[in-house]
Each structure stands twice: as structure tokens, then as C-alpha cells.
Amino acid sequence: MLAAALLVAVIIGVEAPFGNAEQDHVGVAARPAPQADGAPGPTEPDRDPGRSAPGAGLAAAAVAAGDALANTAPGATVGVAVRDRHTGETAIGAAGALPMYAASLVKIVVAIDVLERRRAGLPVGPQHVGLIRRALGPSDDEAMNTLWVRFDGHGAVARVAARLGLPEMRPPQDPSQWGEAVLSARDVVKLYDHVLSGMAPEDRELIVGALAAAPRIATDGFDQAFGLVAGAPAGASKQGWMCCVAGQITLHSAGVTGPGRRFVVALLSSQPRGVGYGGARATVTAVADAVRAPLA
């Protein structure tokens, strides 16, 4: 496993001044990656990362299976978190509280913030709603660039983290690089749980519908059919990919599975650049399969 600290970042979007996270970035200067303030705390009272509550069930079994598979991938760190929305059980894997770069998972954060501030009077027009759909489904980075600048995406990360109590989530050190926002797998399951249980129905269905309608091939040409999406029925998953962070590929898959949107699953990974996107995708997909098996 990689060390639990984030590594040095090299992410410069030459063609996308506001942080195109889903291109293959190779920078010319390094800067330190943002670190979480202090050791990650428990997800819920008396709950340590990697430990489930007494009498825990399917979520704990799924996380244990995911961690076991992740441990077989040389050089990879895979953060796993699962929430059973029917029982309220949340299980966090050994790396589930580890802060990692968000890549395109931060698009969900901005969507939540914009839609909820709209209900408080923020001017959000139909064209902006269209941008949200494009950022979430086809993972259109140009749409995200516009949303990030127009609606204070840097502040959105801080606002949502404070409002939902997300201990690892923080804005990027460089406000122009939205892919460098930081969060953990346990933050992501809380984000999804808020979308599904805490947002107005219209806003919830906008986000879930956009994710469920995601095409296999993203706007930048990347194949999104990996992780929770590979070989699975259409769900509401968000994929994220970014290269390279000190020789690392960032590759994430997070979404809902099971009847009635019962389970929220977050799989966040940092993997050696040498495995390539193909190898990284295979690892995340294998972990996803292991996690889903106890939930079937």
C-alpha cells in the first residue's frame, strides 16, 4: 500500500486554465499536495476507519471484500466506503478516510452547492442547469470550468464540507485547479447520502438522472465503463480520472447500487502511473466486483 500521505502534485492544464481534471497532465514544476489537518477522525461516534458497528452487516462485508482485493494490487491505494441506506450502517475501509485528489467527483459537490443556493435566491438559469447535466453525465470539463468560475466553486467545496460535516474534504490550494480538491471515500458516501435523502426531490432527480444518463464515452474520449459501471445495470455513478500526481494515476468510481438505491459505494484510488489507465481501471473494476458481491 502507498503511504497514507498525499504525494507531490504535478497538475497543469495547459489547454484548460481552470483545471481540466480529466486530461493527461504532465507539469513542469511540482508543488506540495494539500494535507488534511490532523489525523482523520471517525466517520460516526465510536466508529474508527476500517471498523464497523457491532452487529454490522452487508456494508461491512462489502468493505472487507473490497479491502482484501485492493491489498493484492501492487502499489495501489484504494479507499473503500459503503453505506446501507436501509439499515443506516456505514462501513469504512482501511484507506476509506484517506484524503485523495477529487478529480471529477468534485463536480457533484458544485452541483449540490449551486442547486441548494438556487433555492435561497441564487440566480441559476436553464443554461446553468444544462451545464450541471453536462458536467455530471458526459463529465464535460468545459462545463465544469464555467460552473466553477461563475458560481465560486472553490467556496462551494468549503461550504458543502462545513454544511455536511465532511472531515477530509477541502478546496484546492490553487483555486484554478478544481481537480485538486481533496476528499475521502467516506466523504463521498456522505455526499451521495445527502443527494438521495437531504435534497429537494427536483434537485435530487436532476443529479441522479444526469449521472444515470452518462454515456460510456466521456466528452474527452475517456471510456467511463469501469468500476461500478463495468458490466452493471445503469445506475447513478460518477467516475473520475486524472494523471499524473508524482507518478500516480487518480481513478475513482462512486455511486449507488441495489434495489431502491439501497447502497452507496465509493471507491477512490491512487495507482502507479506505470500500470497505465488500463491497469488502473482493471484494479478499480475488480474491487467494485468484490464489493458488490455481498450486496447482491
CATH of the domain at 262: 3.40.710.10
Which residue numbers in the chain have pLDDT < 70? 1-56, 233-234
What does 17-48 look like in DSSP terms, one character per residue? TTT-TTSB---SS-BPPP--SSS---SSTT--
Note the pLDDT tens digit of each residue in 117-164: 999 999 999 999 999 999 999 999 999 999 999 999 999 999 999 999
CA 184/CA 51 separation, integer angstroms: 16
Amino acid at residue number 243: C
Beta-ladder partners of 249: 243, 271
The answer to whether 232 and 292 are in contact (CB under 8 A) is: yes
What does 161-204 look like in DSSP terms, one character per residue? HHHHT-SS-B--SSTT-GGG-EE-HHHHHHHHHHHHHHS-HHHH
Q: Residue 70 is inside which H or E element, if any?
A: helix 58-70
Residue 155: inside a domain? yes
Domain hosting 190: range is 58-295
pLDDT confidence of residue 232: 73
pLDDT confidence of residue 247: 86
262, burial (CB in 10 Å: exposed 0-12, middle 13-18, buried 19+) = middle
Structural domain count, the chain: 1
pLDDT confidence of residue 234: 59
Classified as helix, coil or strand, 50 is: coil
- Nearest alpha-carbon partner for 267 in 247, 287, 294: 287
pLDDT confidence of residue 131: 98
Q: For residue 147, what is its C-alpha cell? A: 460552473
The answer to whether 70 and 76 are in contact (CB under 8 A) is: yes
The residue with cell 507531490 is 8
Phi/psi at 195 (5° precision): -60, -45
Residue 74: inside a domain? yes
Residue 24: inside a domain? no
User: Residue 286 contacts by C-beta under 8 Å, 6 or more apart in sequence?
Assistant: 69, 73
Phi/psi at 236 (5° precision): -125, 75
pLDDT confidence of residue 233: 67
The answer to whether 44 and 90 are in contact (CB under 8 A) is: yes
pLDDT confidence of residue 83: 97
Residue 152: inside a domain? yes
Residue 85: inside a domain? yes
Phi/psi at 124 (5° precision): -130, 115
pLDDT confidence of residue 56: 61
Residue 2: inside a domain? no
- The 3-class SS string of 108-151 reads HHHHHHHHHHHCCCCCCCHHHHHHHHHHHCCCCHHHHHHHHHHC
Query: CB pairs under 8 A, 24+ apart, for 231-234?
Result: 232/257, 232/292
Residue 25: inside a domain? no
Residue 40: inside a domain? no
